[in-house]
Structure 1
Amino acid sequence: MTAAGLLALVGSAAGAPTSATAATPLQIYGAWHCGNDACTWATVRNMTDFDTNNHWLIDRGDGRPSVNLVVLSFVNPLRLLNGTNDSGDANGVPVGMNQAVVNYFTSHGIRVMLSIGGITYTSDWNTALAQNPTLLGQKAAALASQLGVGIEIDYEESSSPNLTGLQAFIDAYRAAHPYDATGADPTARLTIDVAAGDRWLIGLDQYATANWLTTAKPVLDYANAMVPSKQPSASTAESNWQEHIDGKSNYSPAIPPLAPAKFTGSLYIAEGSQVRPECTDFANSVQNSTGSWVQNAAPNGAGTTSGLLGYMFWAAEKPSTRGVTTTPPNTCEGGVGAGATAYSVPIPMPALRQG
């Protein structure tokens, strides 16, 4: 047996993709964006300053964008429900998440979404879902229409998520913006965040996988497997993502397998005091080390096509009040931008695989 054949056999035995498998091109290559105030977006941005700090997103160095998706993070769900007007919000929406910022990206072929929630606003999600989840869904849909964006659900309730309320939220959103397999309508893009693997946010993960992320009757477009508490090694990242593909049959209720075409994997570009190779050094990055796995990960009970949808990166500009930012001199052309070139990321984002 040749060395290549032996490697393929070992890879198959381990449940890993083999080198003989044709790689599936990445379709999603995006960044969460926290603005310049640790994800509150509480001030209207000067767009010249905004461009200085974020130009790498629209130009990897050769005039092409580094990403095909930006997710502005975060909208507080309770403020959105209540239509709060204060120094940082207008009708419940952070004043920095305005049309000028959206157009900055969409004018370069980059899709834009708004993320509702984040771990800071978990209790506000709980309150809003208890009060009036249908109205919250309607307001989210109206916001999507107003700005021409999609919506991401980031509900990080680990103990007892209000799944009945979240179902009502999704039903109300979908009544206004039905599922669109073509991806042509940006407002129809509705996604959800789950944990890096299947062992956290278990109730949400189980329900979403079983009811909203199936290939036979999709309700949500896809899920993002979020970053863990710190940047994982390549093997840990792959192990986490494999859990979604395999599901957890030993749980009660069981978490069913998730089709690779129904989720992305996530990595840090800035973490604490460190700028990660994801930002500055693609050759030595986890996304480079996991690229073959991500493009070849095979279905294991759900879906028919191999390969995750792509990568998401946490997070552009200033994700926390302390620590590094992705602003000059720590811009990410050499990491995310180089990865976009290496993976031939399509811009604009194409219609997503459905199975």
Structure 2
Amino acid sequence: MTNKRGALRLFGIFTALLLLFVHVPLSNAASHLATTTSPSISVYGAWHCSNDACLWGTVRSVTEFDSKNHWLIDRGDGTPSVNLVVLSFVQPLKLLNKTTDAQTVQGIPMGMTSDIVNYFKSHNIRVMLSIGGITYVSAWNQALATNPTQLGLNAAAVAQQLGVGIEIDYEESSSPNLTGLQAFIDAYRSVEPYDATGNNPAARLTIDLAAGDRWLIGLATKATTSWLTTSTPVLDYANAMVPSRQPNSASSAESNWQEHIDGKPQYSPPIPSLAPAKFTGSLYITSASGSVQPECYHFSGSLIDTTGSYVQSVAPNGVGTTNGMLGYMFWAAECPSSRGSCTTPPNTCEGGVGVGGQTYAIPIPMPSLRQG
């Protein structure tokens, strides 16, 4: 009997020790699994300007395009650096008129071909087309004044044809045509209703807002009030665009993004709070002044690194139920300026954007987005 008790005691000690050693790696594995299957950062994308400062004015072969942009589909371990690429820009008036000219075919820049779209989609990277940009503010105004409904229908048709989403980049700061923009959105949604699952690429419709709430005030007020609510969303989400220059600290970048979360109740009319799950924050990887930013090539200590905790955990301020913004957007891949540097060899971005994607376990393909 005594020997049996001793044997049982030894067996119990052995079992406890075994469980102790087994428990640690199992716990870590479970923790990692939770992190990678339910990431707080869902959107991790780059605007793409082709090789001609965002004109997309020439047809490019996939081989030549890949030689300049391979870092986007492979951060060095065979996994894409991003899960979204936004081809920038479509000229709104040409899209309305379905213009064909030296750089455009039926309203779409001739470089935005199905081959280029499929180059990214074949690697599970979502693709969108951006309509507008700061260069095309007048074109937006003309198109919205002429026939915003037809513009929305044309945009939806292109989205369906290429299997892409559409981004609204309407940077009219003084008197935006919000009635016209509402008609554009209504027309688009009449063809492609809001899809909370994100399964239909053409149903993805987003908007660009300023870095904070002190510019594009009319647009921010309307978008936050009417189109980006958590109860009856019309647009999928917003991008808080880059400011005039790269923020010089994490706190500077975060203060801009916090303005969207807090709103501007003192304004007349007030800008309401925006749920963190309804927008991304943006950083430069190339600047208009001509330099490739550290965020492109070196993650540690970059703003992608130092703002990560905030982006993943910032709490709502009265609107929304989940912590954390949707993620990041980067301005901009390849050559956004004719006088600046490009994110082409040897200045590619695996070491910054790519390492960030790996560090934050960015899901590829992009998952369904949090709705509130």
Q: Calculate the TM-score normalised by the size of structure 2.
A: 0.89
SS at 1:249 equivalent: coil
Q: Equivalent residue for 2:354?
A: 337
Question: In percent, how many aligned pairs have the same letter?
Answer: 72
Matches within 5 A, 1:143-162: 143-162=158-177
In structure 2, what residue type is equivalent to 1:259?
A
| CA displacement at 1:24 relative to structure 2 | 5.8
Q: Equivalent residue for 2:128?
A: 113
Q: In the TM superposition, what whole-angstrom CA distance separates every residue of 1:105-139 from its partner, at most 9, and x where no partner exists? A: 00000000000000000000000000000000000
In structure 2, what residue type is equivalent to 1:253?
P
SS at 2:85 equivalent: strand
In structure 2, what residue type is equivalent to 1:110?
I
| CA displacement at 1:273 relative to structure 2 | 2.2
Q: Which runs of 5+ in 1 are unaligned?
A: 1-21
Query: Is residue 2:299 matched to residue 1:282?
Result: yes
Q: In the TM superposition, what whole-angstrom CA distance separates every residue of 1:316-337 from its partner, at most 9, and x where no partner exists? A: 0000111110000000000000
Q: Equivalent residue for 1:252?
A: 268
Runs of 4+ off more than 6 Å = none
Q: Equivalent residue for 2:25?
A: none
In structure 2, what residue type is equivalent to 1:109?
N
In structure 2, what residue type is equivalent to 1:311?
Y
Counterpart CA distance in 1 for 2:128 and 2:61 is: 20
Q: Equivalent residue for 2:40?
A: 25
User: Which residue, 326, 330, 334 being the options, matches 1:313?
Assistant: 330
Q: Equivalent residue for 1:302?
A: 319
SS at 1:311 equivalent: strand
Counterpart CA distance in 2 for 1:93 and 1:141 is: 13
Aligned CA RMSD, in angstroms, stands at 1.0
Q: Equivalent residue for 2:250?
A: 234
| CA displacement at 1:277 relative to structure 2 | 1.3
In structure 2, what residue type is equivalent to 1:284?
G
Q: Equivalent residue for 1:8?
A: none
Write 1 or 2 for the structure with the bigger share of helix.
Answer: 2
Q: Which runs of 5+ in 2 are unaligned?
A: 1-34
In structure 2, what residue type is equivalent to 1:301?
G
Matches within 5 A, 1:149-188: 149-188=164-203
Query: Is residue 2:344 matched to residue 1:327?
Result: yes
In structure 1, what residue type is equivalent to 2:128?
M
Counterpart CA distance in 1 for 2:292 and 2:184 is: 37
Task: Decide whether the 8 Å contact of 1:161 with 1:204 is kept in 2.
Answer: yes
Counterpart CA distance in 2 for 1:302 and 1:116 is: 28
Counterpart CA distance in 2 for 1:332 and 1:225 is: 21
Q: Calculate the TM-score normalised by the size of structure 1.
A: 0.93
In structure 2, what residue type is equivalent to 1:92?
G
Aligned residues: 334
Task: Decide whether the 8 Å contact of 1:24 with 1:306 is kept in 2.
Answer: no
Task: Decide whether the 8 Å contact of 2:39 with 2:362 is kept in 1.
Answer: no
In structure 2, what residue type is equivalent to 1:115?
S
Counterpart CA distance in 1 for 2:190 and 2:91 is: 22
Counterpart CA distance in 2 for 1:46 and 1:142 is: 24
Q: Equivalent residue for 1:19?
A: none
Q: Equivalent residue for 2:239?
A: 224
User: Which residue, 93, 97, 102 being the options, matches 2:108?
Assistant: 93
Matches within 5 A, 1:5-16: none
In structure 1, what residue type is equivalent to 2:163?
G
In structure 1, what residue type is equivalent to 2:145?
A
Counterpart CA distance in 1 for 2:104 and 2:368 is: 33
Task: Decide whether the 8 Å contact of 1:261 with 1:303 is kept in 2.
Answer: yes
